[in-house]
Amino acid sequence: MQTLKTLALTIGIPEKEIPSPEMPINDIIYNSRKAVSGVIFVCITGALADGHRYAADAYAKGTRVFVCEKPLDLPDDAIIFRVENTRRALASLSAAFFDHPEKKLRIIGVTGTKGKSTICEMIRHILCENDIPAASIGTVGIRIGDTITPTGNTTPESYELFRIFAEMAEKGIRYAVIEVSSQGIKLDRIYGIHFFAAIMTNLSEDHIGGAEHPDFEDYKNCKKQLFERCDHAIFNMDDPYFDEFHAVGHAKKQTYSITENADCSAKALLPTVTEKGFGTSFILTKNEHHTDVFVPFPGEFSVSNALAAITAAELAEISPEHAANVLASVRVGGRFEIVPTDIAGTTFVIDYAHNGESLTAALQALRKYHPRRLIALFGSVGGRTEVRRKELGIAASEYADFSILTSDNPDKEPPIDIIADIEKHMQNALYTVIPDRKEAIEYAVSIAETGDIILLAGKGHETYQLIDGKKVPFSEREILTNASAKRLAQTLI
């Protein structure tokens, strides 16, 4: 338990301005629905709501200590601390409240447009399999041991991060591998955290517009900030923005590449099929030593992800050979995940590819396994720009033999309107439209033939659909399994 004085000092409040300094503080909150007595309510402004508007609600529930940027109209017994930036205050208060757990861990941050989830899981897997306790935080959730807990954001709010770090430290975790999103940086969710290592995967236009980034420069510059707060930095030489990122900060820098002579490089990439599915074999070169590596994912980008993970693992004194030995067994939910079905000779793949570049990469990678037909089932999320929908349509038109256009987290936008935007760019392509995603998946199962590869793109690890502001339970795996079993039963009648 912390006192009001201890916490207030961390956000720059002079000691003489702290009333009731020995008041015990039981928690830090930023959601008025959690308000009770004995907590500090931090008023932060989000995309949809401003916490300052809910300070009176928190007061009515017993909260008496508030941290704000704007004036608050509260009774005289409210203790109000005014600061310039409440998001940074939330991070500082949370770090102090949990006794600075970030200092008890080696934190590895992974940023970029694509590949963050896979690289995080690769690093966590390599470390754990080499008897180094590690955990991860990102899009697929919080993973500590065999337990995976969902998280609302790729990079959770600062309070959640420090709470999770505290849990990790208590359980003996030594390394925390986390996805660092551009929003996580922009909104100060990682404020006050110094990283043992930071990795740059790649950069392309995404998360532009709406409540995210006003333009690509803002998106890019947010990403760069991660490399000003780390001891080691790992960069992808194959990315067009490599030089810009490599020039940032004063960390010890390493590079990886599948095309250049980097510190860690890959040659002789070969698509490989095993009894468990598609993968890629290659030769890794590091310090003039060569190591044969197999990753259980298709595509050049999967090899690039593996190079980043192996380079990071070496910072934990794990050799490329030891990393390669366990990398073959890594699995990442919703990332080129092959779902077993009762339809012999047909391969169903679930992947998170949700923009034009990632869908193109996924389809190009699967094309190398010479399918009879390559079928893409996909949609686009609601509330995003038409540019993303255009790129998805172009990608499917160029690289899929047949497409099934459907919904993907439409939220408050009619799915048929989203699909219409994609259709504008499906020139000369074979496709059908089935707005209900469950029906679309069932249709894909019904037309599947021996030798087909069917890619279900966009949902990946997600177990819901976002419809009209609500997360509706939705499992592509369950739908696939049920539909294939039903088809098999019908053939046996």
- pLDDT digits (tens), the chain, 493 positions: 799 999 999 999 999 999 999 999 999 999 999 999 999 999 998 877 899 999 999 999 999 999 999 999 999 999 999 999 999 999 999 999 999 999 999 999 999 988 999 999 999 999 999 999 999 999 889 999 989 998 878 899 999 999 999 999 999 999 999 999 998 999 999 999 999 999 999 998 766 666 676 788 888 999 999 999 999 999 999 999 999 999 999 999 999 999 999 999 999 999 988 877 789 999 999 988 999 999 999 999 999 999 999 999 999 999 999 999 999 999 888 888 889 888 888 999 999 998 898 999 999 999 999 999 999 999 999 876 678 899 999 999 999 999 999 999 999 899 999 999 999 999 889 999 999 999 999 999 999 999 999 999 999 988 899 998 889 999 999 999 999 999 888 777 6
Other C-beta atoms within 10 Å of 12: how many? 11
Domain range 337-492, CATH architecture: Alpha-Beta Complex (3.90)
Token pair recorded at residue 445: 């199962």
Q: Would you state the structure tokens that stand for residue 233, as one six-digit string?
A: 């930095």
Distance CA 376, CA 396 (A): 7
Which residues face 235 on adjacent strands?
Answer: 255
pLDDT at residue 209, as a whole number: 60
- Estimate to the nearest angstrom the gap between the alpha carbon of 226 and the chain centroid: 16
Dihedral sign, Cα of residue 195, residue 200, residue 205, residue 206: negative
* Integer Cα distance of 353 and 376 in angstroms: 11
CATH topology of domain 101-327: UDP-N-acetylmuramoyl-L-alanine:D-glutamate ligase (3.40.1190)
- Taking each helix axis from N to C terminus, what angle separates 356-367 and 386-399, rounded to the nearest 10 degrees? 10
**Cα-to-chain-centroid distance, residue 167:** 20
String of DSSP letters for 14-53: -GGG-SSTT-EE-EEES-GGG--TTEEEE--B-SS-BGGG
- Report yes or no: 193 and 161 within 8 Å, Cβ to Cβ: yes
- Return the domain boundaries, the chain: 2-86, 101-327, 337-492
Helices 158-170 & 86-97 angle (0-180, nearest 10): 20
> Which pLDDT does position 279 carry in this prediction?
92
What CATH topology corresponds to 2-86? 3.40.1390
